[in-house]
Chain A
Amino acid sequence: MDRVITLDLEKQTVREINQFLHHDLGESSARVEILNPFGVHNIAVGLDAPVEVDIRGHAGYFTAGMNKQARVTVHGNVGWSVAENIMSGEVRVKGCASECAGASGHGGLVVIEGDASSRCGISMKGCDIVVGGGVGHMSAFMAQAGTLLVCGDAGPSLGDSLYETVIYVGGAIHSLGADAREEPLTADDRATIARLLAAARLERDPGSFKRVASARSLYHWHAGADHKAYS
């Protein structure tokens, strides 16, 4: 990186900072330091450039939402929906994430080095999410594509109404949601886990994970289904 740009949320508004990141980065690559985030929402949303952004502290909701190309690192915790709808690039949280981390993400990589709260990876559509700790209830709810790798434990109703996303869990699974089932871990799975761990810069034994995928019994609407099974 040939340039380091420092922005300060004590001196500038989030609007001014996002405006700069959207329009004023220029052609050459750059690294941006954002200081004093103090839990402000919507920091670095909508980036679409190969820029590195370091947020030095805790950030609020929707941090790095809809990210494309950029590599955003939060040196702290984040609020709801970090990297929601991520398209490409990487969003890394050094601390913990609140609810809906990586929601609806289409591509790219989301790394939560600590724990993620409930609904992590909800509705994900092709991104990869790696969580160093555990995830809360209803994680990967209606997840369509991509991979959720959880190094710790998973809360209740993991993978409820899952489509084609595959989930790997290193710790205990409290319970599976509707239509999610545990399946044998294959050599391909271990290779995928190893690749994701390497990308996330985390060290675990790829063979120690459980694989969860869709049983695909809900792929066709069946009004006569036994509703007690889904209560």
Chain B
Amino acid sequence: MTPPIRKEESFSFSRQTLEYIHHAAEHGLYEIRGLGAKRQLPTFDDLLFLTASASRYPLEGYREKCATKTVLGTRHAKQPIELEIPITIAGMSFGALSANVKESLGRAATAMGTSTTTGDGGMTPEERKSSKTLVYQCLPSRYGFNPDDLRKADAIEMVIGQGAKPGGGGMLLGQKISPRVAKMRTLPEGIDQRSACRHPDWTGPDDLTIKILELRELTDWRVPIYVKMGATRVREDVKLAVKAGADVVVIDGMQGGTAATQQVFIEHAGIPTLAALPLAVEALDEMNVLGEVQLIISGGIRSGADVAKALALGADAVAIGQGMLMALGCNSDHYTLEGKTHDASGDYAVIGTEPGFCHHCHTGRCPVGITTQSPDLEVRVSPDWGAQRLKNYLQVLTMELTTLARACGKSNVHHLEREDLVALTIEAAAMARVPLAGTSWIPGKS
């Protein structure tokens, strides 16, 4: 009798890979989706704090003062940005998000004394009114970009790229191009809108230098100018941004989110946030501008621990996008309308997914009313409810951050330092330039 053939699942052709190949073969289409990288990557979870004991003196858990004030844009601007916390809200467009969500973000940021950021498509009156400190993005598409809104901004962010799709540009599919979105972007309603991958009026870093000067002239050198880049060749890119005159450099790691782009970009372009941050810090150090040019890191920041570790590695602040959307109920099985909870699982099923797996921002049919322009869905996030949820989330992150900082003996969150950290894995130790836990070994350094 022939022995039965053993069942063995392939690592190279896992069930997930088989599903991908079958899908490609069946449809002849490559996948567009939202959110960020879902593959397993080294993250801030791979780092741990060496909090105080005999060799370090801690501060009392939540009573002693621990400063969180953060100042950005001190290099050239007459009016640097002064924030109460080092946690900012990343650029996300009206178009990708509903007007209610943009207003919620602005109100929460204002309540917590931090900034929020426009996105592709320009500035809406609602977000300007609701945001005490608003960063105005200058993107390659220049949709809705104009000098009046530029002068209303508290800072300008020149966007060269983002972590989810560095070098890839962007898209907003036709189902989200409502009459208002179309008008703001000067495009016909309902067409699939492409956001260019490069700027229309400058190409290289020498041109960028002059472009930044143009923006300074337009605003009479009043506001800081950030330069945001997706994390790829971080060391070189940060140096070029500094040389071009940036007041603040924003580095967005590959876990950063998007409203819609090709899956192949999301999972296969750029480097993890953990790897990008030390490269950016070293570049600033080598340019001798640490403390003069501030650094914001983004891309998959979720918790107060993430924020604390980012600051310990040398960031001046973090920016959060996806975490804010999740605080509003992204991937939740329900939404809350006028104080009542409603089951959303049926709406997930309609778009072919379920809570916990959804990355269907591109469809415009967000079951919890966040990434939509549909009137029947966007009411699922009211600005009052949304602002409170977001404020709560920012408050928790800040409390976790200060708790960790106090335990490390710091009276200011910006005093957290690399020496406070160890790594759980060799990969994280090499990327973060901190010792592997229980050793003094930093791969590549010692």
Within 8 A of A (CB), among B171-205: 171, 173-174, 185-188, 191-192, 194, 196, 200-202
A45-B214, A106-B146, A223-B29 given; A145·B186 CB < 8 A: yes
Shortest distance from the beta carbon of A51 to any chain B beta carbon, whole Å = 15
B62 interface residue per 8 A CB criterion: no
- The answer to whether B147 touches A46 (Cβ under 8 A) is yes
Task: State how many angstroms separate the Cβ of A184 from the closest Cβ of chain B.
Answer: 22
Q: Given that A15-B217, A123-B200 are contacting pairs, would A80 and B29 also be in contact in the complex, using a CB cutoff of 8 Å?
A: no
Note all chain A residues with C-beta closer than 8 A to B142.
85, 104, 123, 125
What's the nearest-Cβ distance from chain A to residue B345, in Å? 29
Contacts A19-B220, A46-B147, A125-B142 known; A220 to B191 CB distance under 8 Å?
A: yes
**Residues of B close to A221: CB separation below 8 A:** 32, 171, 173, 192, 194
Q: Contacts A61-B210, A125-B142, A223-B30 hold; do A104 and B217 have CB atoms under 8 A apart?
A: no
**Cα–Cα, bound, A145→B30 (Å):** 30
Given A85-B147, A123-B141, verify A219-B188 contact (CB < 8 Å). yes
Say whether, besides A103-B200, A106-B186, A224 and B29 are in contact (CB < 8 Å): yes
With beta carbons under 8 angstroms apart, the residue of B29, B191, B207 that contacts A61 is B207
Q: How far is the CA of A155 from the CA of B46 in the complex (A)?
A: 54
Summarize B's interface: helix, strand, loop or mixed: loop
| Whole-angstrom CA separation of A45 from B151 in the bound complex | 13
A135 at the interface (CB under 8 A from B): no
CB distance from A44 to the nearest CB of B (A): 9
Pair B207/A18 contact, Cβ less than 8 Å: no
Provided the pairs A41-B210, A161-B194 are in contact, do residues A104 and B220 lie with their beta carbons within 8 angstroms? no
Q: Which residue of A lies closest to B145 (CB)?
A: A85
Number of residue pairs spanning A and B whose beta carbons lie under 8 angstroms apart: 107
- Min CB distance A213 to B, Å, is 13
User: Are A68 and B217 in touch, CB under 8 angstroms?
Assistant: no
A80 proximity list for chain B (CB < 8 A): 201-202, 207, 210
Complex contacts, B200 vs chain A, CB 8 Å? 84, 100, 103-104, 119, 122-123, 141-142
> Inside 8 A of A61's CB, which chain B residues have their CB?
207, 210-211, 214
Is B28's CB within 8 Å of the partner chain A? yes
The minimal Cβ–Cβ distance linking B207 to chain A, given in whole angstroms, is 7
Interface flag for B349 (CB, 8 Å): no
Interface check A117, CB cutoff 8 A: no
**Are B210 and A220 interface neighbours, CB within 8 A?**
no
Contacts A62-B214, A87-B146, A164-B188: A103 and B194 contacting too (C-beta < 8 A)? no
Using A45-B218, A164-B188 as known contacts, say yes or no to A142 and B30 having CB atoms under 8 A apart: no
Extra pairs beyond A46-B218, A61-B207, A144-B186 (16, CB < 8 Å): A41-B213, A41-B214, A45-B214, A45-B218, A46-B147, A46-B219, A66-B146, A66-B150, A80-B201, A85-B201, A122-B201, A125-B186, A142-B200, A164-B188, A220-B174, A220-B191
Interface residues of A (CB under 8 A from B): 14-15, 18-19, 22-23, 41-42, 45-46, 48, 60-62, 65-66, 68, 80-81, 84-85, 87, 100, 103-104, 106, 119, 122-123, 125-126, 141-142, 144-145, 161, 163-164, 219-221, 223-224
List chain B positions with a Cβ less than 8 A from chain A: 27-30, 32, 141-142, 145-147, 150, 171, 173-174, 185-188, 191-192, 194, 196, 200-202, 207, 210-211, 213-214, 217-221
